[in-house]
Chains A and B, each alone.
Chain A
């Protein structure tokens, strides 16, 4: 008989594991072990891709879109505010991510 896969359950487990891995990555990064933090991000990404699970929103900006490195502000990434945008530069590959915060900027202009 064909063994049915329980995708809902698989996704739930994957999501939980991704959360754990990101927490651990954060911990390792604080301890200064960046290679290990990057390894955990890599494992979490693989889980996400394998089971089609989006990244937990709280961690979406914590890794580099270009090379997958864990972005610890200061140690692995530069974070700057420029012209109503958060600009994050990955120190490993140089990839720049810009996140606009238009709503807040507009509110300021109105004042």
Chain B
């Protein structure tokens, strides 16, 4: 899962260091090494991966800690585990 494509998936922030971002949910539209760009209700929110926990809408929903995703998108296949 941590190696797969995140762009295009629906995501929900389950736990966040920033209380305002705790409720963010939507579709991942872009990804950098340290952040996800989430589109929710017509707004784009950049959510840091570090310290946050996400639930991706794959099957029943998969919960991943953002720290495990902290690689460049193209490096994640190689490095994440």
Contact = CB atoms under 8 A, between A and B. Distances in A.
Contacts of A17: 4-5, 77
B74 interface: yes
A51 B29 CA distance: 23
Given A36-B29, A39-B30, A46-B74, A13 B4 contact: yes
Q: Which of under 10, 10 to 19, 20 to 34, or 35 or more describes the interface residues of B?
A: 10 to 19
Interface in A1-26: 5, 10, 13-14, 16-17, 20-21, 24
B5 A50 contact: no
A67 interface: no
Interface residues of A, number: 17
Contacts, number: 38
Contacts of B73: 43, 46-47
B3 interface: yes
A16 B78 contact: no
Contacts of A50: 74-75, 77-78
Interface string B39-81: 0000000000000000000000000000000000111011000
A21 B7 contact: yes
Interface of A: 5, 10, 13-14, 16-17, 20-21, 24, 36, 39-40, 43, 46-47, 50-51
Interface of B: 3-5, 7-8, 29-31, 73-75, 77-78
B74 A13 contact: no
Contact of B5 (A5, A10, A20, A36): A20
- Top 3 closest A-B pairs, CB basis? A46-B74, A17-B5, A20-B5
Given A13-B3, A39-B30, A43-B73, A20 B78 contact: no
A24 B8 contact: yes
